[in-house]
Structure 1
Amino acid sequence: MALPPLSRALTGGACLAVLAASGYGWALATAPAPGRTGTDVLVVGSDSRAGLTAEEKSRWHAGGTACRCADVVMVVHLSADGRRASVVSLPRDSYVPFAPRDDGAGPIAHSGKINAALRQGGPELLTRTVERATGLDIDHYLQARFKGFVQAVDALGGAPVCTKEPMRDKNSGIDLEPGKHHLDGAGALRYVRTRHSGHGDIDRVRRQQRLVAGIAGRHLAAGTLADPPRLEALAGEVAGGLRPGPRTSVADMLALGRQARHLRLRDVEFATVPLESISHPAGEWGSAVKWNDERARAMFRRLAADRTLAPGDERGPRGGFDWTGRVAPGDRMDCD
């Protein structure tokens, strides 16, 4: 049985956030203009199987039909001084008001699951919908398809991960013993797609963030950002797996990478938007994720003001999975 679409996976999104949060320039931009309070990048992983061969679909357990949805949605904020980064995950089933759009018969305004905005109106509608939901001004957009994630992780030299429990899932193909592992792109894909745990997309979001922290930490420690030739070579390799926005160039990527050359993993913070419910009844949309509006607004106001995020708590049903907006520095991301 094939896994559901990549809406339940990391795909390219988390790995893209690695580079954006680490300043490798997947953020698609030059340094912010004077007076700006940092740069906000919308990083998206879609469920597109475009370019996959039958052998790749079989080997990567990528069967099923794509819905052309946004499986991963992350907002990456790089501070104006380039010394801090925040990665905020927006669960793909988040029920939010969509930005108005015109289908030719007049404006349409409705609410729905945030991942469907990509299918209904492409990157432009998804970007405006995220802006409406968060109150942020998104500066840049970056998207990766299914194959792009594997290519990007391989270009980055693989992904270090660790797990406290065995991870075995015949649907994703994951088979890991407890301990530390170094995964190639295909292995990383299995890791982020697994449904072996019981808390659905909320668990997967945190796994995405841990993968991002692991890759970013290795490259930050190696001083890649401070080495222009290495940065340029890496940006060129990774860019092949991405679908950047219309204003993107390799020069843009390198400029942001240079801006973030002093970034340290402990200054990259990861968070999930604070949630009120993961089983909110949403009519024709079925069960959805509902944000805690008051806490979510407070979180995004801090990002808009170029401030660090307030530490969150770890309370939650059934042992405390991350649904309350917990904020964790990159160097304190625990094993699963």
Structure 2
Amino acid sequence: MSTTPHSNDPRDNAGEFVLGKDGKPLVDRYGRPIRRRTTASRRDPAARHPDEFTRVEPRARRVSQRVEPGHTVYEPPAAYEPRRAPEHPRSRPAQQRPAPEEVPLQVSKRRRRGPKERRKVKLPGCGAVLALVIALLIGSVLVADARLNRTAAMPDQQISGTSGTNWLLVGSDSRTGLSEKDVERLGTGGDLGTVRTDTIILMHLPLRGKPTLVSIPRDSYVPVPGYGYDKINAAFSIGGPQLLVETVEHNTGLHVDRYAEIGMGGLAGVVDAAGGVEICVAEPIDDPLANINLQPGCQQMDGPTALGYVRTRATAQGDLDRVARQREFMTTLVTRVLSPSVYLNPFRMARLLWVTPSLLTVNSDDHAWNLARILIALRGGLETETVPIGGFTDTEVGNVVLWDDTAAEALFASLR
């Protein structure tokens, strides 16, 4: 089969070019013949570019060119670059797919609680608990202070102040406030009319060192200011606390700073509030007047038994033995109150703070926190003394106790 070679002469291929009126092909500004536009690509899909989805033929721009009259020259369109349709991400292999962007999850600060969700209860801290304990302690002290009985115990004229703080502690035989049932239970007998003191103790609290308890026998024969010589407990029955304080100061040379008094019922009530005391009895004591019958040995005593123990004189040395038992009892009672079984027991401690103040009588200027200082001072131990005794004699006021003036002065001088 023979093929005819393609001719380069535009006139031989006149059907492919645009011809003028003279039958010659038109040329562009570069002198090239202008080819006719073909429409095959529009009608025949196979003639389209394989990667072409949409092809828009740019319209030829009309240009000015010197041509023969009656002819128009068009500038050929710019080179065509086919556009590719964007690929869908799923059409790519998994290895070539771009990693999805990690969008941070936004959580609302205010979260709604579900129907069964409960708010957690915030427990109080140590500071709140400590503040509560301090508030309760202060409240208890103020209540105790309000329940104290007060009296004007200090005389108008007192000697000059001496070192430390001196308390005059008095245990009276007053039956005031006791019912007939209490009198029978305590074995105190009826009202004797004249109130005297069964116990007189001078407590010296130094600035440093241990406190000292000085027991003064109630039958001590001493001068009572304005009344001459008499038993020291007679000063209480004659002129009350004021004359007793003045008499003690006159005979000891010690300034009395504070005063506290407790009756028979009060002493038994304090012991019962503390849950009893354990006392070691040195010898058998049988005293129907004090309503006790004790055997030797350490034993737990309730209020009535302890009261009978410190009141009885049914022993060999009578009043001197009683003075020693009173010091022993007071030391034991303080030790009991300061024991963990009492101050860590809220029920016993509450009862003590409620009952004890109503059983005490203090000077008008004394308060519950002054009494608390006694307990704090006694925690470190204490020294116990009895005024040195020089003998006994019978006088117009009965059998009395005589002091050893030299030894007694030495004792009191060490406390000034």
Normalising by the residue count of structure 1, what TM-score does the alignment of the two structures yield?
0.69
Equivalences for residues 302-313 of structure 1 within 5 A: 302-304=414-416
In 1, the alpha carbon distance for the partners of 2:183 and 2:351 equals: 29
Paired residue type of 2:398: G
Report deviation, 1:232. Answer: 8.5
Structure 1 residue 59: Cα displacement: 2.0
Are residues 56 and 133 of structure 1, via their aligned partners in 2, closer, same or farther at CA, if it must alter by over 3 Å? same
Residue 234 of structure 1 and its aligned partner are, at CA, apart by: 4.2
Deviations 1:104-144 (A, max 9, x none): xxxx3412110000111111110010000100000011111
Q: Work out whether residues 274 and 296 of structure 1, in 8 Å CA contact, stay in contact via their aligned partners in 2.
A: yes
Match status 1:162 vs 2:280: yes
Contact 1:236 1:250 in 2 (8 A): no
Report the Cα offset of residue 66 of structure 1.
4.1
User: In the aligned structure 2, how far is the partner of 1:66 from the partner of 1:98?
Assistant: 21
Q: Which has the higher helix share?
A: 1
Structure with bigger RCO (C-alpha 8 Å, 6+ apart): 1
Cα distance in 1 for partners of 2:363, 2:307 equals 24
In the alignment, structure 1 residue 50 sits paired with structure 2 residue 176? yes
Equivalent residue number for residue 3 of structure 1: none
Match of 1:280 in 2: 393
Alignment of 1:36-185 (within 5 A): 37-64=163-190, 65-81=192-208, 83-99=209-225, 108-185=226-303
3-state SS in 2 of match to 1:96? strand
Alignment check: 8 A CA contact 1:97 1:110 kept: yes
Paired residue type of 2:400: A
**Secondary structure of residue in 2 paired with 1:181:** strand
* Whole-angstrom distance in 2 between the partners of 1:177 and 1:224: 27
Counterpart mapping for 1:254-265 below 5 A: 254=372, 256-257=373-374, 260=377, 263-264=379-380
Question: Contact 2:272 / 2:303 at 8 angstroms: preserved in 1?
Answer: yes
Q: Which amino acid aligns with 1:143?
A: E
**Cα pair 1:46 1:71 within 8 Å, conserved:** yes
- Cα 1:183–1:259 change in 2 (3 A) is closer
Q: For 2:189 and 2:327, how far apart are their aligned partners in 1?
A: 25
After superposition, what is the alpha-carbon deviation per residue over 1:266-298, rounded to whole angstroms, capped at 9, x for unaligned? x31111100101x2233x212211100010010
The 1-side partners of 2:377 and 2:358 are apart by: 22
Aligned-partner Cα distance in 2 for 1:234–1:188: 17
Larger radius of gyration: 2
CA contact under 8 A between 1:44 and 1:70: conserved in structure 2? yes
Task: Say if 1:231 and 1:257, in contact at 8 Å, map to a contact too.
Answer: no
Distance 1:235 1:271, change over 3 A: farther
Q: TM-score when scaled to structure 2?
A: 0.56
**For the residues of structure 1 that align with 2:343 and 2:412, how far apart are their CA atoms?**
27
Stretches of structure 1 lacking an aligned partner (at least 5 in a row): 1-25, 29-34, 100-107, 305-336
| Cα drift, residue 153 of structure 1 | 1.7
**Are 1:271 and 2:397 an aligned pair?**
no
Offset of 1:221 from its aligned partner? 5.1
SS at 2:361 equivalent: strand
Q: Which amino acid in the other structure matches residue 406 of structure 2?
A: E
Deviates more, 1:175-184 or 1:230-239: 230-239
How big is each residue's C-alpha offset from its partner over 1:76-119, in whole Å with a ceiling of 9 and x where there is no partner?
111213x51111110001011112xxxxxxxx341211000011
Question: Structure 2 vs 1, CA of residues 80 and 218 (structure 1 numbering), >3 Å: closer, same or farther?
Answer: same
* One-letter identity of the residue aligned with 2:203: V
The equivalent of 2:402 in structure 1 is 290
C-alpha displacement of 1:214 = 1.8
Match of 1:193 among 287, 308, 311: 311
CA shift in 2, pair 1:258/1:161, >3 Å: closer
Compute the RMSD of aligned alpha carbons: 2.9
